[in-house]
Amino acid sequence: MRRTEKKQVIEFIDTLHIAHNEIRKQLEAGNSNAVQELLANCQNGTIQLGSLIETIEGEACEVIPMLEEYCELLYQIHDDIGQLKEIKANKVYKRLNKQLVRIENSVKSAIEDRLEIVFLPYKASMWDSLESVWMAADADKNCDTYVVPIPYYDRNSDGSLGQYHYEGNELPDYVSIVHYNHYSLEKRRPDIIYIHNPYDDYNYVTTVDPRYYSRELKKYTDMLVYIPYYSTTGGMSEAQMFCPAYRSADYIIMQAQKYRKFFDPSLPEDKMQAFGSPKFDRIIRICNNPPEPPEEWKEKMKGRKVYFYNTSINGMLSDTESFLKKMKYVFDCFEGREDTCLLWRPHPLLESTLDSMRPQYKSAYGTLKRYFIENSLGIYDDTSDMTNTIALCDAYIGDSATSVTSLFGLVGKPLFILDNHIHSAPKEDDWKGKVITGMDYFGNDSWKIIQGNKLYYSPDNNYKYKYFCDLSDYASGQYYSQVVTIGEKQYVCPANARDIVVISNGRIERKIPLVQCVEQGGAFCGATIWKRYIMLIPNIYPAIVIYDTENGKINYLDQYLDVFIRNVEGERRIGGIWLQDGQLYLASPTDSQVLVINVQTREEQVISLNVSHSCGCMAIVPEGDELWLLPYEGYVITRWNPVSGEIKEYDRYPDGLECTHMILGYPCSQTPFNSPAFCGDYVYFPPQWANMYIRLDKRTGEMEEWKPPMEMPEEFDKGYFPSGVKSYFTHPAGEHSENEYHLFSMYDRKLYRLNLETESYNEVSIEFDRKELERHEPGFMENSEWLQYACEENAFNTLSDFLDGNIKGHTFDRDRQIRAYSKVAANNDGTCGEKTHRFVCGRLTG
């Protein structure tokens, strides 16, 4: 008997108990007609109850004869009253109650609860996120299990419902489905509902039918359970933190307890249950017994190593033009090879997302797709079952920010992570782009942190670098940002790490751990020092950190972060930062507010600058007692004296000044300038996203275009020379005149020493030993907390190198990879589904 039906039976028995009390009361009052009516109602209801139980449990159910005896007793009492026999109220009550208690105990012990559980997938390709729980429920003799695929729609550009989709027929053959038109949630009111779509009406690309939004489902069930459709290698998008279904769901199944911090912190802890991922259960099961490939695949796979090429939505949206160029480059690398087979599997919602969010690129994508298929470059996989495909592949190539990597990682198949901005084989010096990543504003360039979390040192501070040490056990992840010197020690400040590395006497002395309150990358955006203090500026870390290097005390300031950290249309922005005379200035990126912190006392105040153009600040640069505030939006430059409060604004630009977004290429007015240089009455502003250098005359406020005396590149290679800026000025180290600066060109990683007064210059050579760099190239190893084990594409390890087996650094180690990925999931032995099912049923039945 279904739990809800048994619950109704017990509720009816409770009603009979109430009726017995009323019968006693009416007998005591001498209302024989009322008593007979109550007895008749009890008998009629009991007969219906007996028919229900007999239909569901069969004639042999031990409750049936007890109900018959109870009906006989009701009839006998009814007859005695009709014959005017003497009736004692308490005696009648006890006789009825004794029989009813026997029935109640028998119902509870002899009739087992059967739970009705319904699974509501919408994308067939996402069925693996529910399957192992369904298998456990389907095998449970005390459960009635239904799979009811629900429809979904593409979103039109105006947000209305577009094309209808139903993928129920694409689920595996062994899954028995019920059409959604034939299963009424309102009538059946299942005990448990499982879903894998958390977005409800907040998905702007597709949406499930609104009848199946989580808030609607909760009306018809006692237990709504959300299981993520994705799995992770260690990181999660901020977009996953707040989803509508989290509020409606009774339970959310997490991959591991460590990922609790990725979800809304206000959710009750009991709601979050770490059981792993059914996706892992399925990949383990199928990879242990791979299926036969489809007939049309067999010839292309025969005798070849099969590479799973994943094109993700995140990769496409981040830079669509580069994404499409990358597709062409990958196709070119495989074309004509006899030893490899490229299996291309786009994300199932990729084309819908293009239609909705990047329609201008749909034609170019379609051209590439046709070229791949018509020229038989490999296998185009649009099957609904990705797990079967993974089982048939030998290796993964593609983006890192996708759940597919975790599936390959868990079963020990190599992952080669592509850089979507690399569209060609590297030239001789292209390695410099990810080794020479920037220069210190004060010229403190003795230490350099390069790709792979490697620390290099120039003992004479002459830009000739040698390997010093590894800063982390991870090969990537940009764990540290910069090295600062206080006294005789160096302090390596974190970016994605949550500790400070102390270097003393030529070695790592220790690591200073910070409070571990974030699990994903992007903890800090920078660091600055004053006297004995180090200030760490947060990105997603929930506090400004002030570390006293003398007494070791760490203070966490978390009150006013929203002054200088803002979210603008989904983009996190950090305002300008400067430390001067013990005052830390943190400017808003969107308005005129500035957070001022006294480093010694930790006193904080928020002030508003009296400016005419409130366009935010992206950088603060000092000149004597004054601070220059560079705009985040627009072109108004602000000159501020914090002591006197005097403010001047400059916006008299020459004609033709404009900005272009460095990554996406569209016209904008964001972050036009970078750190300037000062020479007499002039200030020189180098472009960040602007199209020219500007020279400002502080006396008149006039601005004019200035051209550097050296030739500066107009274009750059995003792949080998990634950059969000064009150039900037820094101070040279050691002896130099007040008019001498370094000008660093990010486009080609060249450094120039420049006298602004005479405009004479010379290039400063930045030297690394290429062979030494290659010796320390990670290759395949533990990558980061967010990508446990992989090899990344770069100038030393190209896609062709991977296909040829010529990886520099560590070669692939399957056992090492499996050990690394064992950390990312609870129950990574294939038992997530079984344990989830037992837990949810147990919570429901008590």
Instruction: Specify the range with the lowest mean pLDDT, choosing from 172-176, 230-234, 482-486.
Output: 230-234
> Which amino acid appears at position 135 of this protein?
M
Q: According to the model, what pLDDT value does residue 203 have?
A: 87
CA 19 – CA 26 distance, rounded (Å): 10
- Burial class of 444 by CB neighbour count within 10 A (0 to 12, 13 to 18, 19+): middle
Answer for the pair 647, 656: CB distance below 8 angstroms, yes or no: no
Distances (CA, A) of 66 to 57, 174, 314, 428, 585: 14, 42, 64, 91, 82
Distances (CA, A) of 632 to 566, 652, 691, 706: 12, 17, 16, 21
Q: According to the model, what pLDDT value does residue 721 have?
A: 94
Strand-pairing partners, residue 480, are 494
Q: According to the model, what pLDDT value does residue 614 have?
A: 75
Two tokens at 290? 């791979």
Q: According to the model, what pLDDT value does residue 15 have?
A: 92
Instruction: Specify the range with the lowest mean pLDDT, choosing from 440-444, 557-561, 574-578, 789-793.
Output: 440-444
Q: Rounded to an integer, what is the distance from CA 535 to the centroid of its chain? A: 28
CA 532 – CA 548 distance, rounded (Å): 6
The sign of the torsion formed by the CA atoms of 20, 25, 30, 34 equals negative
Closest C-alpha among 197, 278, 283, 210 to residue 240: 197
> Mean pLDDT over residues 824-846, rounded?
92
Model confidence over 692-740: pLDDT tens digits? 999 999 999 999 999 999 999 988 888 999 998 999 999 998 888 999 9
Distances (CA, A) of 175 to 71, 172, 230, 237, 472: 45, 6, 21, 32, 47
Model confidence over 766-824: pLDDT tens digits? 999 999 999 999 999 999 988 999 999 999 999 999 999 999 999 999 999 999 998 88
- Dihedral through CA 213, CA 214, CA 220, CA 223, nearest 10? 160
> Which amino acid appears at position 491 of this protein?
Y
CA 492 – CA 478 distance, rounded (Å): 12
Report which DSSP code applies to 293: P
> Mean pLDDT over residues 334-362, rounded?
93
Answer for the pair 720, 434: CB distance below 8 angstroms, yes or no: yes
Q: How confident is the model at residue 110 (pLDDT cuts 50, 70, 90)?
A: confident
Give the gyration radius of the chain's Cα atoms. Answer: 35
pLDDT at 1 over 80: no
The phi and psi torsions of 224 (rounded to 5 degrees) equal -110, 125
Two tokens at 248? 């409606």
Contacts 24+ apart (CB under 8 A), 578-584: 578/528, 578/620, 578/621, 578/622, 578/627, 579/528, 579/529, 579/530, 579/535, 580/622, 580/627, 580/642, 582/530, 582/531, 583/642, 584/528, 584/530, 584/535, 584/544
Report the percent of the chain where pLDDT is more than 90. 80
Model confidence over 408-438: pLDDT tens digits? 999 999 999 999 999 999 999 999 999 999 9
Report which DSSP code applies to 275: -
Strand, coil or helix: what is 777?
Answer: coil
Q: According to the model, what pLDDT value does residue 683 have?
A: 98
pLDDT at 665 over 90: no
pLDDT at 197 over 90: yes
pLDDT at 77 over 80: yes
pLDDT at 521 over 90: no
Place of tokens 């692939």: 812
Answer for the pair 671, 726: CB distance below 8 angstroms, yes or no: no
Two tokens at 193? 């509902």
pLDDT at 623 over 80: yes
CA 619 – CA 586 distance, rounded (Å): 9
CA 403 – CA 451 distance, rounded (Å): 24
Strand, coil or helix: what is 162?
Answer: strand
Model confidence over 666-678: pLDDT tens digits? 899 999 999 999 9
Closest C-alpha among 207, 201, 209 to residue 148: 209
Closest C-alpha among 818, 820, 791 to residue 807: 791
Q: According to the model, what pLDDT value does residue 611 have?
A: 92
Instruction: Specify the range with the lowest mean pLDDT, choosing from 180-184, 225-229, 780-784, 785-789.
Output: 785-789
Q: According to the model, what pLDDT value does residue 778 have?
A: 95
Q: According to the model, what pLDDT value does residue 526 have?
A: 94
Q: 223-226 and 251-254: which strand pairing?
A: parallel
- Dihedral through CA 632, CA 637, CA 643, CA 645, nearest 10? -100
Alpha helices in 425-551 (DSSP H): 432-435
Collect all residues with Cβ–Cβ distance below 8 Å to 655 and sequence separation of at least 6: none
Two tokens at 568? 């603008």
Collect all residues with Cβ–Cβ distance below 8 Å to 604 and sequence separation of at least 6: 557, 559, 560, 595, 596, 597, 598
Q: How confident is the model at residue 7 (pLDDT cuts 50, 70, 90)?
A: confident
The phi and psi torsions of 695 (rounded to 5 degrees) equal -110, 125
The phi and psi torsions of 697 (rounded to 5 degrees) equal -90, 110
Two tokens at 84? 């005017």
Q: How confident is the model at residue 236 (pLDDT cuts 50, 70, 90)?
A: confident
∠ Cα 193 197 202 (to 5°): 130
Instruction: Specify the range with the lowest mean pLDDT, choosing from 587-596, 738-747, 817-826.
Output: 817-826
Q: According to the model, what pLDDT value does residue 769 have?
A: 96
Q: According to the model, what pLDDT value does residue 697 have?
A: 97
Residue 60 or 701, more confident? 701
CA 379 – CA 383 distance, rounded (Å): 11
Strand-pairing partners, residue 378, are 342
Alpha helices in 436-579 (DSSP H): 561-564
Answer for the pair 343, 382: CB distance below 8 angstroms, yes or no: no
